[in-house]
Amino acid sequence: MKDRLLFLGPPGAGKGTQAERLCNAHGLNHLSTGDLLRAEVDAKSALGTEAAELMNKGELVSDSLVLAIVKSRMKSQSGGWVLDGFPRNVNQAKALQILLEELDQQIQGVVLLELDEVALVQRLLSRGRTDDNEDVIRHRLEVYAEQTEPLVDYYLNQGLLLRVPASGAIEEIQTHIEDVLS
């Protein structure tokens, strides 16, 4: 199975849920920049305080901050990995490429979880995180369309894109993901 992976898709598509299940099932390292940033926020670190303000507005945190977190994790782990929530723009994707060259590793697949906007908003509203109120959700979807969606073509051009419909039962989607990775 491919085991150096990116999970791409709009907020609410289920990247975190599916990445975690895949990693548990196959012993991969799960690296979620959203989770790592929320841990910093909870710890009330300087970095967390800076990040919280942006996250609660639905804006992206600075590339340099996120990249520092990703770098230290990627350098200290061994085995397969799933990056979830990173990269989120072309600049981050290019920085990741450089980091992976340094580490002599290559992305083997980019799983794109696809879901329509009505379903996305419904899921996010039922989740109830502090950045999950309707206005902030709308803004996160706009930021996704502007900054993150260009990565679909970016990875399509590299022959890495694996599309998976993200509606239906959690187990069903997991099976579909395992199929495209086998």
Residues forming the site for ligand ADP (CB under 6 A): 11, 15, 33-34, 37, 54-55, 58-61, 66, 85-86, 88, 92, 140
DSSP 3-state percent helix, strand, coil across the chain (nearest 5): 60, 15, 25
Cβ contact 66:99 at 8 Å: no
Cβ contact 48:42 at 8 Å: yes
Q: 64 burial class (0-12, 13-18, 19+ CB within 10 angstroms)?
A: exposed
CB closer to ligand ADP, 47 vs 182: 47
CB closer to ligand ADP, 126 vs 182: 126
Cβ contact 156:93 at 8 Å: no
Query: Shortest distance, CB of residue 34 to ligand ADP, whole angstroms?
Result: 2
CB closer to ligand ADP, 81 vs 86: 86
CB closer to ligand ADP, 54 vs 180: 54
Residue pointed to by tokens 């009505």: 118
Query: Shortest distance, CB of residue 45 to ligand ADP, whole angstroms?
Result: 15
Query: Shortest distance, CB of residue 182 to ligand ADP, whole angstroms?
Result: 25
